[in-house]
Structure 1
Amino acid sequence: MKPSINIALLISISVFVSGQADTCSNPPQSDKVVQFADALKVICPNSAREPCINDPKAPHQCRSASQAAEPILRSFEKYNITNKNEMAALVSLMALESDEFKYQKNVFPGRPGQGTRNMQMPKWNARYLASIPELKDQREKVGDDKAKILDLLLSKDDYDFGSAAWYMTSQCTSDVRKGLQDGKEDGWEKYITACVGTTASGERLRYWQVAVKEMQKL
């Protein structure tokens, strides 16, 4: 007589194995990432919603704080950003320029080739792309096409969220960075005006002030 097969038991085992596989493929975020994501939610309240809400004019561009946290942290590691006041400056810049991680391309007025989370101009995107070794072959294929250059930089969140740290470490003077590291408003203002090349508006200041406070908690 053949042994009977307990179907219920097999189903239970199957569900268990499936659940284990899902757990392995989607590991929980580390405490560091969770804490950083929580800080982003305070700095960018609109990014706290899960899932994030796309602008109909910019489909698939939004990221939640939880989605943004790891790529931003990896950019700090890649570009050796260890000072919390510099971290605050970068996060606040991205917060304003991307409307709290809603956009990765310039939508208003819709300037072709301008984008990434700090809304870099096309010439900086071209230089940023040239600094990424693993994109060398693709870069040669797209040539000087601004839109295609940007598309390459948006092909991976690490590139998209890494542009602000790349720009700071490659384009800002040591004097500007020293001012940022001191955590004073005049140092931040110099970063915005002399390195980023725009005005230190009240809205930018508010983002920075909240970011400084949150980064110091980490």
Structure 2
Amino acid sequence: MAFRQTLFALLSISSLTTAHPLLHSSNKRAIAVNDAMTAIMTNVIRTISPATSTCDNAPHPEECSTAQHAAPFILESFNDYDLMTVGEIAAVTSLMLFESGDFKYNQNYFSPSGGPNPGQGTRNMQQASFNSLYAAYLVSQGKLSQEALSAATSPDAVLALVQPDEFTFGSAAWFLATQCSAEIRAGLQSMEGGKQGAQTAWEMYLSECVGVTPVMDERREGWTKAYAAVTGRSA
């Protein structure tokens, strides 16, 4: 079975009660982050963006991540925020790839002023205000210390707290799960209407939650590739 079909089948199985070797036995809706699933997700990312195969000549090598390196962290974020449908996964993955320049950047260097935008970063390039909310959430989950957050007295200091791999690749899933309306998320979860219906839900996610209008062709092209890679369906 092709890897694209395997991912689609795995996500479908995750909502059932029967056991599956790639699923955690304690939670039938969790995706097992093992070598097999990491390889599938790596191939999905590379199919969407071949540029993620290497970090050669990256403008900021210390910020660059390959698909293979990113895949397990992204899979963990799906588990952490219960993203178990292809619509959610295609939306979040395509957003991260677009905003981070194919995982080449972990902070913003291109503000209207011509320099970095203080505090803006992570793989979905969250604004500083959302990174503060995200860091506070991580504190509430015991993943960051309150002392560390209290000591972060500037937007860039807060950004530094959420830039490690285990956090930066989870910010987009956190944003969808906590900052988007139930209606937006339900739209992404529904596959009714085929690709056109899924695209409409994705455009609502961008415009009404992420705050991107109009939806540029470059974003639409990335999402179309993501939809095809995750579902195995013709785009």
User: TM range, normalised to the smaller chain?
Assistant: 0.7 to 0.9
1:1-218 to 2 correspondence within 5 Å? Answer: 30-49=35-54, 52-53=55-56, 55-56=58-59, 58-109=60-111, 110-132=116-138, 133-136=142-145, 137-143=147-153, 145-154=154-163, 156-183=164-191, 184-199=198-213, 200-217=215-232
Identify the range of structure 1 (97-106 vs 176-185) with the bigger mean alpha-carbon deviation.
176-185
* Gap runs ≥5 in structure 1: 1-28
Following TM superposition, by how much is the alpha carbon of 1:54 offset from its aligned partner in structure 2, in angstroms? 5.0
Letter in 2 for 1:149: V
Letter in 2 for 1:63: S
Following TM superposition, by how much is the alpha carbon of 1:178 offset from its aligned partner in structure 2, in angstroms? 1.4
SS at match of 1:135: coil
- Deviation string, structure 1 residues 161-210 (Cα, Å, up to 9, x no partner): 00000000001111111111224211111000000001211111111111
> Are the counterparts in 2 of residues 125 and 150 from structure 1 also a CA contact under 8 Å?
yes
- Deviation string, structure 1 residues 53-85 (Cα, Å, up to 9, x no partner): 3534x3400000001101100000111110111
Separation in 2 of the partners of 1:54 and 1:170? 35
Of Structure 1 and Structure 2, the greater helix share is in 1
- Deviation string, structure 1 residues 130-188 (Cα, Å, up to 9, x no partner): 00132132101113x1000001111x201010000000000111111111122421111
SS at match of 1:55: coil
Separation in 2 of the partners of 1:134 and 1:48? 30
- Deviation string, structure 1 residues 74-116 (Cα, Å, up to 9, x no partner): 0001111101110000000001000110000001131111000
Q: Which residue of 2 aligns with 1:25?
A: none
* Gap runs ≥5 in structure 2: 1-33, 192-197
> Are the counterparts in 2 of residues 112 and 147 from structure 1 also a CA contact under 8 Å?
yes
Separation in 2 of the partners of 1:165 and 1:54? 28
Letter in 1 for 2:208: A
> Are the counterparts in 2 of residues 54 and 60 from structure 1 also a CA contact under 8 Å?
no
Identify the range of structure 1 (171-180 vs 134-143) with the bigger mean alpha-carbon deviation.
134-143
TM-score (norm 2): 0.75
SS at match of 2:121: coil
| Root-mean-square deviation (Å) | 1.5
- Deviation string, structure 1 residues 23-73 (Cα, Å, up to 9, x no partner): xxxxxx611100110110011110012xx13534x3400000001101100
Identity over the aligned pairs, expressed in percent?
A: 36
> Are the counterparts in 2 of residues 39 and 215 from structure 1 also a CA contact under 8 Å?
yes
Aligned residues: 185
Letter in 2 for 1:164: A
TM-score (norm 1): 0.81
Which has the higher Rg, Structure 1 or Structure 2? 1
Cα pair distance change 1:54/1:164, threshold 3 Å = farther
SS at match of 2:144: helix
